[in-house]
A and B are shown apart, each in its own frame.
Chain A
Amino acid sequence: MSATTSRRAFLASASAAVATLAPGITLIAAQAKPADQPASSAVRWGMLIDTTRCSQDCSACVGACNVENGLGSHGRPQTDPQWIRKVDLTSKRTGQKLSLPVMCQHCEKPPCVDVCPTGASFKRQDGIVLVDRHICIGCRYCMMACPYKARSFVHESLENQRPHQPRGKGCVEGCTLCAHRVDEGKLPACAEACASGAILFGDLNDPKSEIAQKLRTLPTTQIRPELKLNTAVRYGGLSI
């Protein structure tokens, strides 16, 4: 099966309510939100990452995220931002190899929100954890507090930002779960780009959504479950 067809097959199976209108425009009809309505607490956006489908030499999700959010590299890996990264794992016990993307886990009880002195780190009603750059003072305490290393600090002046994704020097940033796309009823860029169907996006609160059904039937886990942060990003095929 070619990459395109497998992706179509995935999308078709993803949800009965999902319709592909044109390449790149996918509507989640049931969950599209009118522009003048605030995000609702009835919804909790989340992701299920099937690590068995995620290949070590694929980083399509990372590339799509970088393009969507205008994340450029300055050739300085230590300070270049990474909202999503591919992590390769080898089990010390069995030698089993795994590869998976790690990004902001959009915790129900996010430590970054707790520690932020000004309230710039916050959680939207629909569970998406964001940084309000208007009041971020760049103290980086959230980066100290995040158990997933999910945040980056903008270490230099930026130009050519994407209009839908403002970012600038001196503030902390991280995965927004593509809130700007989700609000329009589109999939996050990484989920859309994932040809193998390893990233399933949906509403955790809707018992009929595919993600909720899969979470009920498949064994899944969160990263660092002992912290009891109840993350919105779950992993299948990974036993911690």
Chain B
Amino acid sequence: MKASWLIALLAMLVAGLGWGPAFADPFPTIPKAKGERCVEDPQYMRRNHMDILRHQRDDTMRLGIRTTKHSLKECVSCHAVDGKDGKPVTVKSSQHFCSSCHEFAAVDIDCFACHASTPEAKR
């Protein structure tokens, strides 16, 4: 008896997933970057980008090492997504490369309280 209830419940859940646009795609849509390939293997980046950025941040801030390979500035510029107005969207938009995934994972990003989340427009 109990088992049949469970099965019914599960069936409803599964049906629910496919029901309505909110559940249509359970995964984040990650915008494509401009460059050919990322500075590290994408799988590796997905798991470790925060450590790479933190390492680079301390090197640059404290020591003055300014290599570009792991710099946040380069990430932001290569992964910039243009909005409807043709300008790159800021981190406030869900289309922003960082936001698309961080919103899905519900992880707050502190970087862009200070760092620019878009490449600089030509002056």
Minimum CB–CB distance from B75 to chain A (whole Å) comes to 11
Of residues 13 through 70 on chain B, the ones whose CB sits less than 8 Å from some CB of chain A are 57-59, 61-68
Contact of A132 with B61 in the complex, beta carbons under 8 Å: yes
Which A residues are closer than 8 A to B by beta carbons? 33, 35-39, 122, 124-126, 130, 132-134, 157-164, 166-171, 179-180, 183-184
Kindly identify which residue among A132, A158, A160, A167 contacts B62, using a CB–CB cutoff of 8 Å: A132
Residues of B within 8 A of A171 (CB): 114
Q: List 20 A-B contacts (CB under 8 A).
A: A33-B64, A35-B66, A38-B65, A125-B63, A126-B64, A132-B61, A132-B62, A161-B114, A162-B120, A163-B73, A163-B115, A163-B120, A166-B115, A167-B114, A171-B114, A179-B64, A180-B66, A183-B64, A183-B66, A184-B66
- How far in angstroms is the closest Cβ of chain A from B60? 9
Shortest A33–chain B CB gap in Å is 7
Q: Given the known inter-chain contacts A161-B116, A163-B119, A166-B115, please indicate yes or no for A130 contacting B61, CB distance below 8 A.
A: yes
* Chief secondary structure at chain A's binding surface: loop
- A160–B116 CB distance below 8 A: yes
B113 within 8 A of A: yes
**Distance in Å: Cβ of B114 to nearest Cβ of chain A:** 3
Residues of B102-123 whose CB lies within 8 A of A: 113-116, 119-120
Q: Does B81 contact A (CB under 8 A)?
A: no
Other-chain contact of B68, A35, A122, A183 (Cβ < 8 Å): A35
Residues of B within 8 Å of A167, CB to CB, are 114
**Cβ B62 vs Cβ A122 within 8 A:** yes
- Which chain B positions have C-beta within 8 A of A162? 116, 120
Question: Do A36 and B114 have beta carbons less than 8 Å apart?
Answer: no
In whole angstroms, what is the CA distance A124 to B65 when docked? 11
Q: Does B76 contact A (CB under 8 A)?
A: yes
Closest 5 CB pairs of A and B: A168-B114, A39-B64, A38-B63, A166-B114, A168-B113
